[in-house]
Structure 1
Amino acid sequence: MEVVVGRSFKVSLDALKSFPWGKYVKFAFLFGSTASRGFGNDLDIAISEIGLEALGELLAELVKRLSLPEDYIDLVVVTERTPCPLVLEALKGVPLYVADWDEVYRYFNVCQDQQIDSRKLKLLETALDAIWRR
Protein backbone atom coordinates (compact mmCIF):
# COMPACT_ATOMS: atom_id res chain seq x y z
CA MET A 1 0.00 0.00 0.00
CA GLU A 2 1.14 3.54 -0.75
CA VAL A 3 0.32 6.95 0.64
CA VAL A 4 0.48 10.20 -1.31
CA VAL A 5 2.41 13.08 0.20
CA GLY A 6 2.18 16.63 -1.09
CA ARG A 7 0.09 15.54 -4.09
CA SER A 8 3.06 14.28 -6.08
CA PHE A 9 5.13 11.93 -3.91
CA LYS A 10 4.20 8.30 -3.31
CA VAL A 11 5.57 6.53 -0.26
CA SER A 12 5.23 2.81 0.33
CA LEU A 13 4.08 1.76 3.80
CA ASP A 14 6.36 -1.26 3.39
CA ALA A 15 9.29 1.11 2.89
CA LEU A 16 8.33 2.97 6.06
CA LYS A 17 7.96 -0.24 8.04
CA SER A 18 11.25 -1.69 6.77
CA PHE A 19 13.19 1.49 7.57
CA PRO A 20 15.89 0.82 10.24
CA TRP A 21 14.00 2.63 13.02
CA GLY A 22 15.71 0.58 15.72
CA LYS A 23 18.98 2.31 14.93
CA TYR A 24 17.44 5.55 16.22
CA VAL A 25 14.25 5.10 18.29
CA LYS A 26 12.21 2.71 20.42
CA PHE A 27 9.00 3.37 18.48
CA ALA A 28 7.66 5.14 15.39
CA PHE A 29 4.01 5.70 14.40
CA LEU A 30 2.58 7.20 11.23
CA PHE A 31 -0.38 9.41 12.12
CA GLY A 32 -2.37 12.37 10.86
CA SER A 33 -4.12 12.80 7.54
CA THR A 34 -1.68 10.68 5.55
CA ALA A 35 -2.27 7.72 7.86
CA SER A 36 -6.05 8.12 8.08
CA ARG A 37 -6.88 9.15 4.49
CA GLY A 38 -3.93 7.82 2.53
CA PHE A 39 -2.87 11.30 1.41
CA GLY A 40 -1.76 14.53 3.01
CA ASN A 41 0.61 17.47 2.94
CA ASP A 42 3.33 15.65 4.87
CA LEU A 43 4.22 12.48 6.75
CA ASP A 44 3.53 12.92 10.44
CA ILE A 45 5.66 10.42 12.32
CA ALA A 46 5.70 10.17 16.12
CA ILE A 47 8.93 8.83 17.55
CA SER A 48 10.36 8.10 20.99
CA GLU A 49 12.77 10.52 22.63
CA ILE A 50 15.98 11.01 20.67
CA GLY A 51 19.04 13.25 20.86
CA LEU A 52 19.35 16.25 18.56
CA GLU A 53 22.23 14.81 16.54
CA ALA A 54 20.47 11.46 16.08
CA LEU A 55 17.28 13.31 15.09
CA GLY A 56 19.17 15.04 12.29
CA GLU A 57 20.67 11.74 11.14
CA LEU A 58 17.24 10.07 11.23
CA LEU A 59 15.67 12.82 9.15
CA ALA A 60 18.52 12.75 6.62
CA GLU A 61 18.23 8.97 6.22
CA LEU A 62 14.43 9.17 5.81
CA VAL A 63 14.83 11.83 3.11
CA LYS A 64 17.37 9.67 1.29
CA ARG A 65 15.52 6.33 1.53
CA LEU A 66 12.05 7.71 0.77
CA SER A 67 13.20 10.15 -1.94
CA LEU A 68 11.08 12.77 -0.22
CA PRO A 69 12.01 16.41 0.47
CA GLU A 70 12.71 17.18 4.13
CA ASP A 71 9.78 19.63 4.24
CA TYR A 72 7.39 16.72 3.74
CA ILE A 73 8.52 14.82 6.85
CA ASP A 74 7.30 15.98 10.25
CA LEU A 75 8.92 14.09 13.13
CA VAL A 76 7.11 14.53 16.45
CA VAL A 77 9.13 13.48 19.47
CA VAL A 78 6.95 11.98 22.21
CA THR A 79 8.14 12.78 25.74
CA GLU A 80 6.52 13.41 29.12
CA ARG A 81 6.10 17.05 28.04
CA THR A 82 4.21 16.31 24.81
CA PRO A 83 0.56 17.45 25.09
CA CYS A 84 -1.70 14.49 25.76
CA PRO A 85 -4.12 15.10 22.85
CA LEU A 86 -1.15 14.88 20.47
CA VAL A 87 0.23 11.76 22.19
CA LEU A 88 -3.14 10.01 21.95
CA GLU A 89 -3.60 10.90 18.28
CA ALA A 90 -0.07 9.84 17.39
CA LEU A 91 -0.09 6.52 19.23
CA LYS A 92 -3.43 5.56 17.66
CA GLY A 93 -1.72 5.78 14.28
CA VAL A 94 -0.05 3.09 12.20
CA PRO A 95 2.82 1.39 14.07
CA LEU A 96 5.90 1.48 11.87
CA TYR A 97 8.25 0.12 14.51
CA VAL A 98 7.90 -0.75 18.19
CA ALA A 99 10.77 -2.19 20.22
CA ASP A 100 9.14 -1.49 23.57
CA TRP A 101 5.33 -1.71 23.74
CA ASP A 102 5.49 -1.05 27.50
CA GLU A 103 6.80 2.45 26.82
CA VAL A 104 4.06 3.07 24.25
CA TYR A 105 1.37 1.83 26.65
CA ARG A 106 2.80 3.98 29.46
CA TYR A 107 2.50 7.18 27.40
CA PHE A 108 -0.91 6.18 26.07
CA ASN A 109 -2.37 5.17 29.44
CA VAL A 110 -1.09 8.22 31.31
CA CYS A 111 -2.55 10.52 28.66
CA GLN A 112 -5.82 8.63 28.44
CA ASP A 113 -6.21 8.85 32.23
CA GLN A 114 -5.38 12.57 32.12
CA GLN A 115 -8.02 13.18 29.45
CA ILE A 116 -10.66 11.25 31.43
CA ASP A 117 -9.82 13.13 34.64
CA SER A 118 -9.83 16.44 32.80
CA ARG A 119 -13.35 15.77 31.48
CA LYS A 120 -14.63 14.55 34.85
CA LEU A 121 -13.21 17.51 36.74
CA LYS A 122 -14.12 19.99 33.99
CA LEU A 123 -10.60 21.41 34.12
CA LEU A 124 -10.92 23.35 30.86
CA GLU A 125 -14.18 24.96 31.90
CA THR A 126 -12.73 25.85 35.31
CA ALA A 127 -9.61 27.39 33.78
CA LEU A 128 -11.62 29.41 31.26
CA ASP A 129 -13.97 30.59 33.97
CA ALA A 130 -11.01 31.78 36.06
CA ILE A 131 -9.59 33.69 33.08
CA TRP A 132 -12.89 35.40 32.30
CA ARG A 133 -13.46 36.42 35.93
CA ARG A 134 -10.19 38.40 36.13
Structure 2
Amino acid sequence: MTKAIHQAVSIAPGHNKASLSPGQKAFNTLIRQIEKRRDRLRAWETVMPAFQKKYVDELLPLERESTDLHARMVYRLDGAFDQKGLTKAERRTISELIAGLAGDLIEESNNAQLKVIFNRH
Protein backbone atom coordinates (compact mmCIF):
# COMPACT_ATOMS: atom_id res chain seq x y z
CA MET A 1 0.00 0.00 0.00
CA THR A 2 1.27 3.49 -0.68
CA LYS A 3 2.61 5.67 2.09
CA ALA A 4 0.18 8.48 1.24
CA ILE A 5 -1.64 10.06 4.14
CA HIS A 6 -5.37 9.56 3.79
CA GLN A 7 -7.71 12.03 5.36
CA ALA A 8 -11.23 10.78 5.90
CA VAL A 9 -13.97 12.30 3.82
CA SER A 10 -17.11 13.20 5.71
CA ILE A 11 -20.14 15.32 5.25
CA ALA A 12 -20.17 18.30 7.61
CA PRO A 13 -23.42 20.01 8.49
CA GLY A 14 -24.14 22.95 6.22
CA HIS A 15 -24.19 26.52 7.49
CA ASN A 16 -27.93 26.74 7.08
CA LYS A 17 -28.87 23.27 8.42
CA ALA A 18 -28.82 22.29 12.09
CA SER A 19 -28.09 18.57 11.57
CA LEU A 20 -27.23 15.96 8.97
CA SER A 21 -29.79 13.85 7.17
CA PRO A 22 -29.97 10.12 8.03
CA GLY A 23 -28.23 9.32 4.72
CA GLN A 24 -25.39 11.73 5.51
CA LYS A 25 -25.02 10.24 9.00
CA ALA A 26 -24.88 6.74 7.50
CA PHE A 27 -22.27 7.93 4.99
CA ASN A 28 -20.10 9.37 7.78
CA THR A 29 -20.43 6.13 9.78
CA LEU A 30 -19.34 4.06 6.78
CA ILE A 31 -16.39 6.36 6.16
CA ARG A 32 -15.26 5.88 9.79
CA GLN A 33 -15.55 2.11 9.39
CA ILE A 34 -13.46 2.23 6.21
CA GLU A 35 -10.76 4.21 8.01
CA LYS A 36 -10.68 1.69 10.88
CA ARG A 37 -10.29 -1.16 8.41
CA ARG A 38 -7.54 0.68 6.56
CA ASP A 39 -5.72 1.09 9.88
CA ARG A 40 -6.07 -2.64 10.56
CA LEU A 41 -4.79 -3.45 7.07
CA ARG A 42 -1.75 -1.21 7.57
CA ALA A 43 -1.06 -2.97 10.88
CA TRP A 44 -1.21 -6.38 9.17
CA GLU A 45 1.06 -5.19 6.38
CA THR A 46 3.58 -4.06 9.00
CA VAL A 47 3.51 -7.36 10.91
CA MET A 48 3.42 -9.82 8.00
CA PRO A 49 7.14 -9.75 7.01
CA ALA A 50 8.21 -10.39 10.61
CA PHE A 51 5.65 -13.19 10.94
CA GLN A 52 6.77 -14.82 7.68
CA LYS A 53 10.43 -14.70 8.74
CA LYS A 54 9.64 -16.22 12.14
CA TYR A 55 7.49 -18.89 10.47
CA VAL A 56 10.29 -19.90 8.09
CA ASP A 57 13.09 -19.67 10.68
CA GLU A 58 11.35 -21.25 13.67
CA LEU A 59 8.13 -23.09 12.88
CA LEU A 60 9.07 -24.96 9.69
CA PRO A 61 12.14 -26.60 11.26
CA LEU A 62 10.02 -27.68 14.24
CA GLU A 63 7.39 -29.14 11.93
CA ARG A 64 10.05 -31.10 10.02
CA GLU A 65 11.52 -32.41 13.27
CA SER A 66 8.07 -33.39 14.50
CA THR A 67 7.35 -35.25 11.25
CA ASP A 68 10.69 -37.07 11.47
CA LEU A 69 10.04 -38.08 15.08
CA HIS A 70 6.56 -39.34 14.25
CA ALA A 71 8.00 -41.42 11.39
CA ARG A 72 10.63 -42.87 13.73
CA MET A 73 7.86 -43.74 16.18
CA VAL A 74 5.94 -45.56 13.44
CA TYR A 75 9.05 -47.59 12.55
CA ARG A 76 9.71 -48.45 16.20
CA LEU A 77 6.10 -49.39 16.86
CA ASP A 78 6.13 -51.56 13.75
CA GLY A 79 9.24 -53.29 15.07
CA ALA A 80 7.65 -53.76 18.50
CA PHE A 81 4.49 -55.21 16.95
CA ASP A 82 6.20 -58.53 16.19
CA GLN A 83 7.80 -58.96 19.63
CA LYS A 84 6.89 -62.05 21.59
CA GLY A 85 4.89 -61.65 24.74
CA LEU A 86 2.38 -59.10 23.46
CA THR A 87 -1.29 -59.87 23.85
CA LYS A 88 -3.82 -59.52 21.04
CA ALA A 89 -5.17 -56.37 22.68
CA GLU A 90 -1.68 -54.86 22.86
CA ARG A 91 -1.02 -55.72 19.23
CA ARG A 92 -4.36 -54.19 18.25
CA THR A 93 -3.51 -51.01 20.18
CA ILE A 94 -0.08 -50.79 18.54
CA SER A 95 -1.64 -51.40 15.14
CA GLU A 96 -4.17 -48.61 15.70
CA LEU A 97 -1.40 -46.24 16.76
CA ILE A 98 0.64 -47.12 13.71
CA ALA A 99 -2.31 -46.71 11.35
CA GLY A 100 -3.19 -43.32 12.84
CA LEU A 101 0.33 -41.93 12.84
CA ALA A 102 1.30 -43.38 9.46
CA GLY A 103 -1.96 -42.19 7.87
CA ASP A 104 -1.29 -38.62 8.97
CA LEU A 105 2.30 -38.78 7.76
CA ILE A 106 1.32 -40.22 4.39
CA GLU A 107 -1.02 -37.26 3.85
CA GLU A 108 1.90 -34.87 4.47
CA SER A 109 4.56 -36.75 2.50
CA ASN A 110 4.51 -39.52 -0.05
CA ASN A 111 6.77 -41.91 1.89
CA ALA A 112 6.62 -45.40 0.31
CA GLN A 113 7.90 -47.18 3.44
CA LEU A 114 5.18 -45.61 5.56
CA LYS A 115 2.56 -46.67 3.01
CA VAL A 116 3.75 -50.29 3.26
CA ILE A 117 3.59 -50.17 7.07
CA PHE A 118 0.18 -48.44 6.97
CA ASN A 119 -1.25 -51.05 4.60
CA ARG A 120 0.07 -53.86 6.81
CA HIS A 121 -1.80 -52.45 9.82
* TM bucket normalised to smaller: under 0.3
**Higher Cα Rg: structure 1 or 2?**
2
TM-score (norm 2): 0.24
Higher helix fraction (1 or 2): 2
Higher strand fraction (1 or 2): 1
TM-score (norm 1): 0.22
